[in-house]
Structure formats: structure tokens, C-alpha cells
A and B are shown apart, each in its own frame.
Chain A
């Protein structure tokens, strides 16, 4: 009898997703994904950024709707159309940025939207009594009148978990729950998760931290490029096997990397730190070199560049250009020192969408095109014409508003803006993200050309093949620090990824 029951439990896991497809304009985000979790099981979900983990979970919690496939809860077809229906089925997700209201107290947060009412008013006494019971489930024994803003990071996590339990969640999804926790806090949280397992709660644990995976996960699901690559047994696997599956993509695309003479150091960065994040970041880049910056999203790569470029404040650190120390307190200083910066968010940070192609190309070099503040429109037009031709920007005319161009052409305009200032150091943050294959290739060719002309290029990319294909040297970052450096010939997807995740 009991064996039969056990067998039945194995046959029908709490959650089973089968053949899930999801397309976004231009990309297949999920491609025939199968996924399942049993009650009392911790399923780790890993993959590079953009592998499809979040999309899969968002389908499960009703944020997105699937294009095809089925979702079974305890063997029965489940209709998840919005977050309410997901909650109704016992599925709760705890997001990285927690959904608590900092200025209200613990009890009010737990009962948000389902306050306990007396005859007319909220029955605060009863609410606090019940809240106290609820947080005890996760081992918290504190006054429920405390405001959430006064809690520590792990306490907030626990409040979220207890809130999920209080609505009878049977499957709790945690999205990188330990990313903002200290080591002891992490231990505490992992302990609670083990307790939850005993209470027959199913848990999906999204993380990049291998150590935690091997401590708590029963199984490890690995995703890559929208596909479920494999599901490994937690006891029988190790970091290098997981990493191999995460990155095991063939580098079939050829990169237009051409050898350029690499000469003296142009930019030197020593010991850059920012408040509460970057710690002692140092690196240098040489004329003619393409320096790749690898790491997970949130590792601090963009933050380093923003700090160097004078957008964010530095707490410490020295920046040298051609051997001499320079002061960069704002973006004007950076521009004057011949540094160019293409931010990752093209629409919000790189371009002024309501201006024309011409106006965007010349935005950073207006001074050079003017006399007594009056703009020389002839020269401006000539310069725009030159870049439209050289970069092969496809636009009906230079007077076209930039917002009407394709992503790839917009990116070429954004890069042209810096070329027009004669940058010696060009920082490119995710230069080919979200653009078509043709433009991508063109941008890679351009990077090689610029390197040959003696420009030092710093390229941040979350695509390992791009990092490997284009970089002469690779800096790997992890949680605000430089984890290590690899030369082109020594770098592999595996050793970069291992540095990036642990």
C-alpha cells in the first residue's frame, strides 16, 4: 500500500510542464521545455542569463502565457492565465526584488490585500496574532509591529516565504534568494528551505551559486538557449558537469576577428571601488587590444564602466591615461580624455530617440563642429554622411528620426557618435545585444578595424562565444570584484563560466 502510494507520487509529480513553447518577436524564448517538481523536493534551475529560466517561471506564475504545451498540477490540466490563478493552484514566487512595502509593518505585509476585518475596521490584534504564528513557521520570533524597512535582508526573505506559506503555497519559486545575503544569512535560509522540504513543499531554486545547489538540491535542471538541456541528480553531479551543460554550445559562428598590433597601455584603472558594490577593481587595456569583460549580469561590469566614465561616484581608485593620472568626475571629463562609452541600454542611455540620425551622430562632437557656439551645419552634414556610409547605416536619410531605424542601425549610429569624437578608448557595453545577425557581424568587423587603427576597446558581453571570439584578453568579474584574467589562447567557455559563478 505504502509502496504503491510512493510509486504513484513518483508518477504524478506536483507540477509537470510538457512541451512548453514561447516566442517573443524575433526569438524563441522557450523551445519544447519539459520540467517537473515533486512535493518535498528542491529543484535547482540553472543557466546563463537569457537561457529561459525566468520566462519558464513567469509562465508558471501567470505573468506570461505559453504559446504551446501543457501544465499539469497533480496530474490534472491546469489553466494558469494570471497571477491569481497561479496562487490559487498553490504556486508562489519570491522575486529578487522583494514585493514587500518597506514603510509598513510585518503583519500588514503578510496580510496585504486580505486584511482580517472585524465588524467595520481591520482587526489589528487578530492580524498580529496570526502573523506571529505564520512567521514562526520560518523560525522568526520577532515583534510583528516592526517595519519591513528595519529588517535585515534575510528576515525580509523569510517574511516573503512565510507569506507564501500563509496562502498555502505548495510550490515556492525562489529567484536568486541569496544574492543579497551574507554567508551566515545564507546558511539560515538554506536551513529553512530544508525544513520546508520536510513539510512537503516543492521548491524551485534559481541560482548561480554552485555551492548552494549541491547543499540543498535534489535535482538540477540546466537550461540553455531556451531549451532544457538536462536534468541531473543532485548527488551524482559536480560543478564542472553543470557548467559544461550550461555553456556547451557549439561556437559555430565565425567571428571577424583580425590580428591587430597590440602596443602600449592606454588606460589603466587601479583599485576602483564604489559605495557598497565595486571592490578594488583594477585592469588595463592596450592600444589595438580588445579587452573582453565577462561575468554574469549583476557582476558589476557595467558599474565599473559607469564609474570610470564619471557617471557614478567612485569612493577610491586611480585612472591613468597614457601613464598619467587623470581626473574624471563627470562625463565631460571622460569625453575630454578621449574615452567613449556605449551603454547597454540603447534606447534609454545611448540615443535621443526624438532626434534625427544626424543629430544623434554629432551629439558628442558638437563643439568641434562649431565656431562661437554656432553650429556649422555643412560640416555636420558632411560628417553624418561620412558615418552613414562608413558604418553602412541603413536609413532613408540623415534627417530620419532615429526611433524609426532598426536596432542594428540604431546601434551603428550610437557607435558612430563616439567614433566622431576620435576616442582612444572605446567602451562597448553589450554592443550586439538584440540586433540582427548582419549588423552584429558588421559591428564585429568594425571592432577589428578600430583595433587595427590603434583604438583600445573594452567590450562587455554576456555571450561567451562573442567574448571568446573577439577578445585578446578577458577579465572575469564576480560580485563586484575582478575574479581573474585569461589570455585569448587559454580561455574556454568552461573556465570563464567557472570563474564567473563561484
Chain B
């Protein structure tokens, strides 16, 4: 009797594992995960320096800021929107946080918070233009791209903010258990937002909004508020990415993050999100950012001129999307 019960429990367990395993294997993130593994194995075989723990950690540290900004824009892209102001918000908030710390002697934690809040407000402004003035996201955030960058120049008079010290430097240069802080931050943020998207009703509504805005609205859901939310959260995450980067470099550059939006969006797209909305995962975005990071590293290690970097990334984006479309069409 007891045996029997145990057996069914075991069967149930293995059944669950089987189902779960299948769903993972069938998922889009898994496919690009395989691509990433293949890239790693290939590099592992051809390039001894790639294998070192130091190199791997530095690759991860480098792509972690792309991934954090990417997570922000993943939310936006799932709703069917787009955000071009990533790089500018990244640059401006990096400057704001470092100035608060250096010029106004605000302690590290509140200084960083000020930067994050500024990012959230800038994102909220994007959202207001989109929701209240009915601007297409492309236009609203294109305006912000220009405005935020300009503010960064105005408040710094074009000079970099230098003189960062210990507290704030920990964010970009510190280590916990021998692993660089940015990697930890990326992991924590990824977990938080995976839970947010998959376990909360707001997450579910964000997917629904991207899948069919009209139907979502008619289901009694406040789609305007959802949009304000994703652009604001996006702003906070671009700011986080920008502040970590400033800390990593030890300087708040008003020019920082120029063109960063394209890399962040590329990571999201390689990660399987659809620019028409309704699809995309945090895991996909992390892997997308990782693939780009590994590519950059590989090109350096294989001593291919850096001029080729963008060329290769461009092709990766095109191939990733074409493969994805072929898969969808087959279905």
C-alpha cells in the first residue's frame, strides 16, 4: 500500500520533470541557449585564454550592464513599444548619480537612488507622451534621446565627473565571493523581473497588452497605466545600468551610452522577443546579451580588428530574427 503510493508519487514527479523538461527544450530561450553553448565550446577549443576564469568573469561583467538595460527594454518591447532613449537616460543618470556623490557629497546609497529615481522620472515622461499625447513610442523616445543627452551635457558643461571614491565604486568594481558586483546585480534583477513577468497579474497583463491592445482594454484592463509602468521601470533599469557603468569606469561621462539603445534592443531581439509585442522573456534577453558579449570577446581573442565587431553583430541580429520567423512560419 505504502509502496504503491510512493510509486505514484515518483511517477508524478518524473512526469512533471518530463513535462517541464519538454517545455524548456521547446522554448525559444533554450534554442538560443544552445547557440550560446556552441559558441562557448568553439571558443573553448580554439582559444586557451578564453577558458580562464578571469576572462569568463570579465565577459560576464561586461555584458551584465547590457543585460540590465535589456531587461528594462524587454518589458517595453513585450507591450509592443520601443525605447530609443536608453543610451541617453543611461548617460544622464550616470552623471546625476556621480555628481550627487562627488559635488554634493551625498552618500553612495542615496546618490545612487537619486540616479535611479531620475531614470524612472525620465521613463515616466516617455510614457506620458505616449499615453496622454498619443505619440508613437518611436517618436516620444526619439525626443527623449535628444533631450536627456543634452541635459547631461548642460549639467556637466561637457566635462566628465571624476573623483569617485570607494562607496560608489563598489557597484561597478567591487566583488562579492570573488564574483564582480555587476554580475550579482544582473542576476538579482533578472530573478526579480522573471518573477514579475511570470507570477504577477501585472506581468500577465503586460503580455496581453502586447498581444492585443484592444482586446486587453475591452477586458477591463487599464492599458494606459501599464504603459506608464513599463516605460518608468525601463527608465530605472537603464539608469541602474548607467550608474554601474560609471562606477565601473570610475567616471561619470556625459557621452556615456551613446548608441547603447541599439545594443540593448539587439540583445532583446536575439533573445527571441518580437518587436510587434506579446512575446519575450528575461532569460532570452540575458542570453542575447551574453551572445553579444561572447562575440565581442571572441573577436578580441582571435585578434580580429574591432572594426568588424558591429559587422558581425549586425549579421547575428539578422540571422537570429530570420531563424525565429522561419520557426514561427513552420508552425
A352 to B216, CA, bound (A): 7
Please indicate the chain A residues that have their CB under 8 angstroms from the CB of B279 in the complex.
354
Which residue in B207, B214, B218 is a CB contact (below 8 Å) of A355? B207
Please indicate the chain B residues that have their CB under 8 angstroms from the CB of A367 in the complex.
201
Say if the beta carbon of A349 comes within 8 Å of chain B. yes
How many interface contacts (CB-CB < 8 Å) are there between A and B? 78
The reply to whether A332 and B221 contact each other, CB–CB distance below 8 Å, is yes
Task: Count residues of A near B (Cβ-Cβ below 8 Å).
Answer: 30
Say if the beta carbon of A116 comes within 8 Å of chain B. no
Say if the beta carbon of A366 comes within 8 Å of chain B. yes
Question: Which residue of the partner chain A has the closest CB to B217?
Answer: A331
A353 to B207, CA, bound (A): 11
Please indicate the chain B residues that have their CB under 8 angstroms from the CB of A417 in the complex.
219
Question: Which residue of the partner chain B has the closest CB to A309?
Answer: B218
Question: Which residue of the partner chain A has the closest CB to B205?
Answer: A366
Say if the beta carbon of B278 comes within 8 Å of chain A. yes
Say if the beta carbon of A467 comes within 8 Å of chain B. no
What sequence of 0s and 1s flags, for each residue 194-215 of chain B, a beta carbon within 8 Å of any chain A beta carbon? 0000011110110110011011
The reply to whether A351 and B220 contact each other, CB–CB distance below 8 Å, is no
- Closest-CB distance, B18 to chain A (whole angstroms): 15
Please indicate the chain A residues that have their CB under 8 angstroms from the CB of B199 in the complex.
374-375
Please indicate the chain A residues that have their CB under 8 angstroms from the CB of B14 in the complex.
none
The reply to whether A364 and B219 contact each other, CB–CB distance below 8 Å, is yes
Residues A373 and B200 in contact in the complex (CB < 8 Å), given A352-B211, A352-B212: yes
A421 to B218, CA, bound (A): 13
The reply to whether B222 and A349 contact each other, CB–CB distance below 8 Å, is no
The reply to whether A353 and B211 contact each other, CB–CB distance below 8 Å, is yes
Which residue in B200, B214, B216 is a CB contact (below 8 Å) of A363? B216
Residues A331 and B200 in contact in the complex (CB < 8 Å), given A352-B211, A363-B208: no
The reply to whether B218 and A348 contact each other, CB–CB distance below 8 Å, is no
Residues A359 and B215 in contact in the complex (CB < 8 Å), given A332-B220, A332-B221: no
The reply to whether A369 and B220 contact each other, CB–CB distance below 8 Å, is no
The reply to whether B218 and A331 contact each other, CB–CB distance below 8 Å, is yes
The reply to whether B204 and A366 contact each other, CB–CB distance below 8 Å, is yes
Which residue in B202, B207, B220 is a CB contact (below 8 Å) of A364? B220
Tier of interface size on chain B: 20 to 34
Question: Which residue of the partner chain A has the closest CB to B220?
Answer: A335
Task: Tell me the chain A residues, 317-357 only, with Cβ under 8 Å from chain B.
Answer: 330-332, 334-336, 341, 343, 348-355
The reply to whether B219 and A370 contact each other, CB–CB distance below 8 Å, is no
Task: Tell me the chain A residues, 352-388 only, with Cβ under 8 Å from chain B.
Answer: 352-355, 359, 363-364, 366-367, 369-370, 373-375
Say if the beta carbon of A311 comes within 8 Å of chain B. yes
Which residue in B204, B216, B218, B222 is a CB contact (below 8 Å) of A343? B218
A363 to B216, CA, bound (A): 8
The reply to whether B211 and A355 contact each other, CB–CB distance below 8 Å, is yes
A250 to B325, CA, bound (A): 49
Which residue in A336, A341, A354, A369 is a CB contact (below 8 Å) of B218? A341
Task: Tell me the chain A residues, 213-241 only, with Cβ under 8 Å from chain B.
Answer: none
Residues A348 and B212 in contact in the complex (CB < 8 Å), given A354-B279, A359-B204, A375-B200: yes
Please indicate the chain A residues that have their CB under 8 angstroms from the CB of B200 in the complex.
370, 373-375
Which residue in B204, B208, B218, B221 is a CB contact (below 8 Å) of A349? B218
A375 to B217, CA, bound (A): 19
The reply to whether A349 and B278 contact each other, CB–CB distance below 8 Å, is no
A179 to B200, CA, bound (A): 49
The reply to whether A311 and B217 contact each other, CB–CB distance below 8 Å, is yes
Question: Which residue of the partner chain A has the closest CB to B23?
Answer: A399
- Closest-CB distance, A330 to chain B (whole angstroms): 7
- Closest-CB distance, A419 to chain B (whole angstroms): 13
Please indicate the chain A residues that have their CB under 8 angstroms from the CB of B221 in the complex.
331-332, 363-364
Task: Tell me the chain A residues, 406-452 only, with Cβ under 8 Å from chain B.
Answer: 417, 421
Question: Which residue of the partner chain A has the closest CB to B274?
Answer: A354
A374 to B217, CA, bound (A): 21
Please indicate the chain B residues that have their CB under 8 angstroms from the CB of A331 in the complex.
217-221
Residues A373 and B212 in contact in the complex (CB < 8 Å), given A331-B218, A352-B278, A354-B278: no
Which residue in A330, A334, A350, A366 is a CB contact (below 8 Å) of B215? A350
Please indicate the chain A residues that have their CB under 8 angstroms from the CB of B214 in the complex.
348-349
The reply to whether A351 and B201 contact each other, CB–CB distance below 8 Å, is no
Question: Which residue of the partner chain A has the closest CB to B211?
Answer: A352
The reply to whether B217 and A363 contact each other, CB–CB distance below 8 Å, is no
A363 to B206, CA, bound (A): 11
The 30 sampled A-B contact pairs (Cβ below 8 Å) are A331-B217, A331-B219, A332-B221, A335-B219, A335-B220, A336-B220, A348-B215, A350-B218, A352-B207, A352-B212, A353-B211, A359-B204, A359-B207, A363-B204, A363-B216, A363-B221, A364-B219, A364-B220, A366-B205, A367-B201, A369-B201, A370-B201, A373-B201, A374-B199, A374-B200, A374-B201, A375-B200, A375-B201, A375-B204, A417-B219
List 6 additional contacts besides A363-B215, A364-B221; criterion CB under 8 Å.
A311-B217, A350-B215, A352-B207, A353-B211, A373-B200, A417-B219
A residues neighboring B (CB under 8 Å): 309, 311, 330-332, 334-336, 341, 343, 348-355, 359, 363-364, 366-367, 369-370, 373-375, 417, 421
Which 6 residue pairs of A and B lie closest in terms of their CB atoms, listed nearest first? A335-B220, A352-B211, A366-B201, A364-B219, A352-B212, A354-B211
